[in-house]
Structures are given as C-alpha cells and as structure tokens.
Structure 1
Amino acid sequence: MNVLVVAAHPDDEVLGPGGTVLRHAKAGDDVSVLIACTGTNLRYGSEETAELLDAAREVGELLSVRLVLGELPDQALDTLALPTVVEVVEREIAAAGAEVVYVHHWGDINRDHRILCEATVVATRPYAAPGVRAVRCFETPSSTEWGPPGQAPFVPNLFVDVADVLDAKIDAFGRYRSEVRPAPHPRSLDALADRARYWGSVSGLTAAEPFAVMRDRW
C-alpha cells in the first residue's frame, strides 16, 4: 500500500498519525510524508528553523518514511491562492502513488491546517486522483481541540491500535525538543501518551490514534 501523510509543520506528522505511520511502515507499506510549510517561517528565526528541519529529517528516519519538505510559508497559507496549495499536494500524491492519504482535520484552530485539509480534499477528488481510495483526517493536539465553539468538532470514526508502537511515537516526538512542552500541556510527552490511552479506552484498545474518515472506498 502507498500512503501519504500531508502535514503542515514539522512535528504534526508525529503528533497526529505517528503511531499509524509506524504501523504502516512495519507492515511493509511505502509511506511518504509531506511537511508542506517549511518555507518562510513567521514564528522562528533561521537557527531555530534549521533545528526543526534537522529534527524532521531525524524523525523521518525513525518513522522509515520518504520525507518531502515543502516550501510553502509557515502560518501564511491564507496569503496564497488555494490552487497554489492544491498543486503541491497533487504533486506529492502523484509522486507517492498514494492510495491512502492522511491530513489535518478541517475544524482545527490553526488556519494552515484547515487550508491544507481543504487543498487535500480538492486534490483527492475521485476524478482528479482515482488511485486514492481513502482520505483520513487526524487530530493535532493543542490545535484540534482548541477551536472556538461552533467550529466543526473532531468526531473520529476510525481507531488504529498503536499500543505496540506508542513508545516509539513518543520517542520520535521527543526529537522535536523545541516543540515539547511541560505537562499538562497537550504537547507534553505524558499528555501525548495519555491521549493515546484515552482514545484506546473509547475504542476498546489499550492505546489508539483516532481519525475522521472523509472518504474510504474499497
């Protein structure tokens, strides 16, 4: 199976679907990860940005994925025409021969996440990407759950068992040293593990990652 993860920022690919990526890799699937917003960075200076990208490469090796660093601007996707973002996603869908695509949830508080989700929806239309048979949206801790009242809630309907790879996911996220926060922040190592155990309790598993399925065709 050919899998593509479409993530906005370095660390998103671990926070949301990291355990699922590890499971795909262990199963022998070909996994590609697009981290789209690694161009102009409005949050960090050049030194911090370089450290983030180095961490992304290190994590890519830990996850056993083909890593693609995009050049779209961080925290500024709303300054671009949507077709510009769609083109980047379409290019990676084609390069990966993607059959399953994972992307941010459409209700996230982070605008880059929402725009990237919308662009992926456009790029994976059945006539535009007939090889894509599943599109699954992941949550991003401290972004998905912090949206304002009335914004589209994250209601997962697919749960992936990540008990056997949870420690490896936590270790991978820990490589993003500048992004790890102290507990009880959602991006602390303890909270990330607790979150997986919570979703496991919801779905009858020890630990799980949740997804909202946008389309699944078999």
Structure 2
Amino acid sequence: MGPWGRRVTGGDRVVTTVLVVAAHPDDELLGAGGTLARHVHCGDEVHAVVVADGATSRYGEGMADVLAKSAQRAADVLGLASVDLLSLPDQKLDTVSVLEVTRAVEAVVARVRPAVVYTHFPGDVNVDHGQVARAAWTACRPYVLPRLRRFAVFETPSSTEWAWPLEGSTFAPTLFVDITSTVDDKLDAMACYESELRDYPHPRSLRALRERAACWGSRVGRPAAEAFQVLREVT
C-alpha cells in the first residue's frame, strides 16, 4: 500500500482513488469530466457521488429515474468504478440540515477513502453547489481523511460564471489538466444527459463545452484543458 492508493500487483505504479462530489446529475461531467476520464485512462479508480436528484424542482414525475439512468450510462462511458445517487431534493439543499448533507457525503468518503477529491466551486450562483462543496470540505477534513492528497474545486458552466460579483465568488484556477486526449470522452458522456443539453451558444451545449476546454487550454498552451482551484494539497 502506497501513501495515496494501492499498489498495482506486479508493478511499481500506485493506483490513485479519486472521488468527484457533485450536486446534480451532469455536474460530475461539466467541470471535471475530461479529468476523470484521464484518471481512468491512467489506471486510477474513479468514483462519483451525486447528492440531489436534479429533477424535483424542474421536471414532472419520472424524470428523477431518467436522470439516474443517464448518470449510470455516463459513468459507464467514462469507466467509473461507481456512482452513488443520494437523491436529496433538487434546488432545496439549503432547506436540508447541513449535518444531513454532510453525513450523506461522509458515508461515501468513508467507503471510498479517496486520495483526490473534486467538487464544486463554493461561490457558484447555484445554492446547491455551495452546499455540496461545503459538505465535501467538511467530510474531507484532515483528521477524518488524513491521506487526502488533493482537494480541488471546479467551475460549472452556466453557474460559476453567473455568480453574484462579490469578493470570494470569482473562480481563480490554479491547476490546469490537459484533456486533449479525453475531451471526446467527456462529450460522449455528456451526450447521455439528453434532457440537460442545450442548444449552442448555451454553456451546456456540446459545442460550447468543447470551446470552453479549448479556451482553458489556450491559457496553458494545450489544445484542451479543464481548470481547478486547489484548496488543499499535500505532497
């Protein structure tokens, strides 16, 4: 056993366990889908937890099941080891006790024991995103998860860029992941969420997502990238 994961039998490489903590179905892909695919391609074990059902505030009966199936198909496309759907009420996480949300995330963290965690930028305009980010941060506190190597937050297109323009609400990336080889995997997985896609130029259109990856990539001299703000890193 290495300090950040388990050692591959017969080899020198340590497998990193990765967890993405998302508020709604498709959030696990919008900000980090290419990065998760890259982890999978490198042989890492990647898990996802989706806290809210994504349906009850916007759709009629039956859509929660549709989104759950879409989440599983997307996970299969990326090759995720697991996806947990906690099905808390959509757009109402601020009406659920912080303790309940945190304990739900803690249960997944306790089972997966990730070395790397990705979640939402806490200053998003979407309240659910902020609640989930804070729950994940609490669930991954150092003496609960002492082997955590990195905790980083991602942008969520159509949410992060529309945040209220106050101090602390501006996404300031410090980590860029080259997803040139996996941007197509991200878009293939996003295509599983037919109900969540929008027509261009909406930020959640497939074309806009590809252009966003190209924009971040141009910041660091790569054809495509995803951006993260690192909140904690131990080396």
- What range is the shorter-chain TM-score in? over 0.9
For residues 199 and 27 of structure 1, the distance between their equivalents in structure 2, rounded to whole angstroms, comes to: 22
Structure 2 match to 1:195: 212
What percentage of residue pairs aligned between the two structures are identical?
46
Which of 43, 51, 62 aligns to 2:77? It is 62
Range moving further from structure 2, 41-50 or 91-100: 41-50
Structure 2 match to 1:115: 131
Corresponding residue SS for 2:160: coil
Structure 2-normalised TM-score?
Answer: 0.90
Structure 1 match to 2:4: none
Question: Runs (4+) of structure 1 moved beyond 4 Å?
Answer: none
Q: Write out aligned runs for 1:48-87 (5 A).
A: 48-65=63-80, 66-87=82-103
Report whether the alignment pairs 1:124 with 2:126: no
For residues 110 and 49 of structure 2, the distance between their equivalents in structure 1, rounded to whole angstroms, comes to: 12
For residues 40 and 87 of structure 1, the distance between their equivalents in structure 2, rounded to whole angstroms, comes to: 22
Deviations 1:164-202 (A, max 9, x none): 111111111111111111111101111000000000001
For residues 43 and 21 of structure 2, the distance between their equivalents in structure 1, rounded to whole angstroms, comes to: 20
User: 1:39: Cα distance to partner?
Assistant: 7.9
Cα pair distance change 1:12/1:190, threshold 3 Å: same
Corresponding residue SS for 2:20: strand
Structure 1 match to 2:36: 21
Which of 186, 191, 214 aligns to 2:231? It is 214
For residues 76 and 138 of structure 1, the distance between their equivalents in structure 2, rounded to whole angstroms, comes to: 21
Greater helix percent: which structure? 1
Cα pair distance change 1:186/1:127, threshold 3 Å: same
Structure 2 match to 1:173: 190
2:154 partner letter: F
Residue pair 1:7, 1:34 contacting (<8 A) in 2 also: yes
Note the aligned Cα RMSD (angstroms): 1.2
User: 1:97: Cα distance to partner?
Assistant: 1.5
Corresponding residue SS for 2:103: helix
Corresponding residue SS for 2:204: coil
Range moving further from structure 2, 14-23 or 43-52: 43-52
Which of 57, 75, 78 aligns to 1:42? It is 57
Specify every segment of 5 or more residues in structure 2 that has no aligned partner in the other structure, as ranges: 1-15
Number of residues paired by the alignment? Answer: 218
Structure 1-normalised TM-score?
Answer: 0.97
For residues 162 and 39 of structure 1, the distance between their equivalents in structure 2, rounded to whole angstroms, comes to: 27
1:102 partner letter: Y
User: 1:131: Cα distance to partner?
Assistant: 2.2
2:70 partner letter: A
Which of 105, 113, 127 aligns to 1:89? It is 105
Report whether the alignment pairs 1:106 with 2:122: yes
For residues 215 and 81 of structure 1, the distance between their equivalents in structure 2, rounded to whole angstroms, comes to: 25
User: 1:118: Cα distance to partner?
Assistant: 0.8
Corresponding residue SS for 1:86: helix
2:28 partner letter: E
Deviations 1:123-145 (A, max 9, x none): 11111221222101011000000
Residue pair 1:40, 1:72 contacting (<8 A) in 2 also: no
